[in-house]
Structure 1
Amino acid sequence: MKIGAHVSISGSRVSSDDETPPYDDIRNAVHRQRAFGGNCGQIFTTSPQVWAQPEISDEAAEGFQEETEEKLEGPWVIHSAYLVNLCTPKEDLRRKSKESMQAELDAADKLGIPYVNVHLGAHTGAGVEQGLDNAANVIDDLDVPEDVTILIESDAGSGTKLGGEFEHLAGIIERTETDIGICIDTAHTLVAGNDLTTPEAVDETVQRFDDEVGLEYLEYIHLNDSKHDVGTHKDEHAHIGEGYIGEDGMKAIVNHPDLRYLPFALETPTEDGRGFAWNIETVKELRED
């Protein structure tokens, strides 16, 4: 099973075992992932709250790749900055979003990471069709490295944000000339109006995704439970099995024949004395042989 968490690369000296010397750079992510019990996962390369360029030395990049190959099983994914808005009609924001995405794609190439994950963003009044056109234009203007794929993440669907409906995901695939993939966030999918609370509901939602988008485009899953119910459009994650998806829904997701072999990255909260380690262990307990 490919299961891990979104881990931080920050800090001065981190090591998860006695055999590997500590580092003060992006290699922290590998050690933290192992400490949580994960074997794949997600990172930010820089602060997601500001327009900043990743700063990764050649030595750190080489070490990161070596550590990943030696100690992890599944692929990493870089999550783009929160400020990126591919759908925006505003030229300045579109330019900044493109520059930020290009920097993340270049960082992924340098680190040997196969995916860069991004939300479509909000059309802010331009309309769904124009928003999707804007996003496709930005994507097609990017210089995507040969071994890197852009993943469009499903959204909770509040306000003018796009990506909450499977139709939006299919729409961006149809519009762009770039080979892109999809990352489904289970909490976002639920609150956007897709039931995932029972095995039957999971089967139905997966089938609708296949019919409308295509399972061949699904390459990563953000595995999160939700503090809010179906169709509420409220994005707040819960511990695995303790939110509105619940244990039955989560068990159905991680064992579904069309999903079980995909990499899962958790973005669950750290609260109630529990964090990523507890949630990863819970997922492993739900997994059937």
Structure 2
Amino acid sequence: MPNIGSHVSFSDKGLLNAAEEAVSYGSSTFMIYTGAPQNTRRKPIEDQYIEEGKALMDKHAIGEIVVHAPYIINLGSYKEDTFELAVRFLQEEIRRTDYIGVKNIVLHPGAYTDKDADYGIARIADGLNEVLAGVKDTNVKIALETMAGKGTEIGRSFEEIAEIIERVEENGKISVCLDTCHIHDAGYDIVNDLDGVLHHFDKVVGLERLGVIHLNDSKNPRGASKDRHSPLGSGWIGFEAMNNVANHPKLQHLPMILETPWIGKEDKTQRPMYEVEIALLSGKLSGRFGGEFLDQVERIDHALSQKDIHHRDYVLGIWDVLKNDAKAKKADGREPLERLYDILFEERVLADLTEEQINQRLIVWLAGKDVLKKA
């Protein structure tokens, strides 16, 4: 069974809050930032309810978890002050990660900005060597994340990741985080050839280096190099391909983290779909939500079938229009999931349910009838 969770909040009571949120989603793992990802302000890690959080994790059989390094770290920068900040701050984050007892900290490798890719790769490797030299007493691995290729970011190919690793002296301390949206956007065909992609990764980097999987659908077609996550089944990758990743025998021992976006008409009503996404990928849909929930998904299927709307055809058709027809996008830029909700709202289908509840059921509908038959 896959080990699936989501990004959760490390707020007032630190690890305890994070564990509570993860439990509410039915997670068996989760990912945290040890502070705000956009700045360097940090509370002492000793004050972050670590033991209380671990006790709750033990109670709910949550095992290996993951830390994500802040976005502001850029080891690829040619600017000395930016580079030195990245090195020192990453060292601090590694020490905090080690204190919690987490073995992988996910890192966006960096961007070369005004230089070139060769410079960026060399600079990142130099930075990693400097970082690791200062944290030899820790047991944490730096999990380099595969990137989509937007802007000047490095890590857009397995070859770039491998080249960085080869230049790191203590590269036993380097692992890899494979992000499904990112590699799809970078051009890897995980929809039609997942085994081929994994074989290529194994040949170039080595499957034994994988430490974390990020499970994200994509709002862009393969090779778009844009990095825009979509809820499970509502993007170009689709539920079937995402489920193949989550349940692949070479991957399912790894912590798998959902970073799918929150959805809703207004900020105050936006909610993550993590609970239903985790249940779908873990094969626990019926046990988690019950028969009435599945009957309501069937009602949605009947209502949409009456309008000749079928899940993958509809999703890909809308994304194709938004991609290729600028006038249509300007006139109505609503994404597939939002349009589906609006249809149900207008038709008064399950009108007694909240927006969040309807969206949960739409996520299941997007997975297709085969999932319902097995639930």
Unaligned runs of 5+ in 1: 12-23
Q: Which residue of structure 1 lines up, in the alignment, with residue 63 of structure 2? A: 74
**Could you tell me whether the CA contact under 8 Å between 1:53 and 1:103 is conserved in 2?**
no
Q: Which residue of structure 2 lines up, in the alignment, with residue 65 of structure 1? A: 54
Q: Which residue of structure 1 lines up, in the alignment, with residue 322 of structure 2? A: none
Letter in 1 for 2:68: H
Instruction: Give the Cα–Cα distance (whole angstroms) in 2 for the partners of residues 66 and 98 of structure 1.
Output: 32
Is 1:204 aligned to 2:196, yes or no?
yes
Taking CA–CA contacts closer than 8 Å with sequence separation of 6 or more, which of the two structures ends up with the larger relative contact order? 1
Note the 1:222-237 alignment, pairs <5 A.
222-237=214-229
Instruction: Give the Cα–Cα distance (whole angstroms) in 2 for the partners of residues 97 and 59 of structure 1.
Output: 23
State the shift of 1:94 in Å: 0.6
State the shift of 1:55 in Å: 2.5
Unaligned runs of 5+ in 2: 265-270, 284-366
Instruction: Give the Cα–Cα distance (whole angstroms) in 1 for the partners of residues 272 and 21 of structure 2.
Output: 16
Q: Which residue of structure 2 lines up, in the alignment, with residue 193 of structure 1? A: 187
The ranges of structure 1 where at least 4 consecutive aligned residues each deviate by more than 6 angstroms after the TM superposition are none
State the shift of 1:102 in Å: 1.0
**Could you tell me whether the CA contact under 8 Å between 1:86 and 1:94 is conserved in 2?**
yes
Is 1:251 aligned to 2:272, yes or no?
no
State the shift of 1:153 in Å: 0.5
State the shift of 1:90 in Å: 1.0
Q: Which residue of structure 2 lines up, in the alignment, with residue 3 of structure 1? A: 4
Decide which structure has the larger Cα Rg and report it: 2
108-117 vs 60-69, greater mean Cα deviation: 60-69
> Over residues 194-253 of structure 1, what are the superposed CA-to-partner deviations in whole Å (9 max), with x where a residue is unaligned?
11113xx11111111111111111111001111111000111111112211112211221
Instruction: Normalising by structure 1, report the TM-score.
Output: 0.89
Note the 1:68-217 alignment, pairs <5 A.
68-142=57-131, 143-144=134-135, 145-178=137-170, 179=172, 180-198=174-192, 201-217=193-209
Q: Which residue of structure 1 lines up, in the alignment, with residue 273 of structure 2? A: 275
Q: Secondary structure at the match of 2:169?
A: coil
Select 1:242's aligned residue among 234, 256, 278. Answer: 234
Q: Secondary structure at the match of 1:102?
A: helix
How well do the aligned residues superpose, as a CA RMSD in angstroms?
1.9
**Cα 1:78/1:59, change in 2 over 3 Å:** closer
State the shift of 1:91 in Å: 0.6
Letter in 2 for 1:213: V
**Cα 1:127/1:63, change in 2 over 3 Å:** same
Instruction: Give the Cα–Cα distance (whole angstroms) in 2 for the partners of residues 54 and 213 of structure 1.
Output: 36
Q: Secondary structure at the match of 2:126?
A: helix
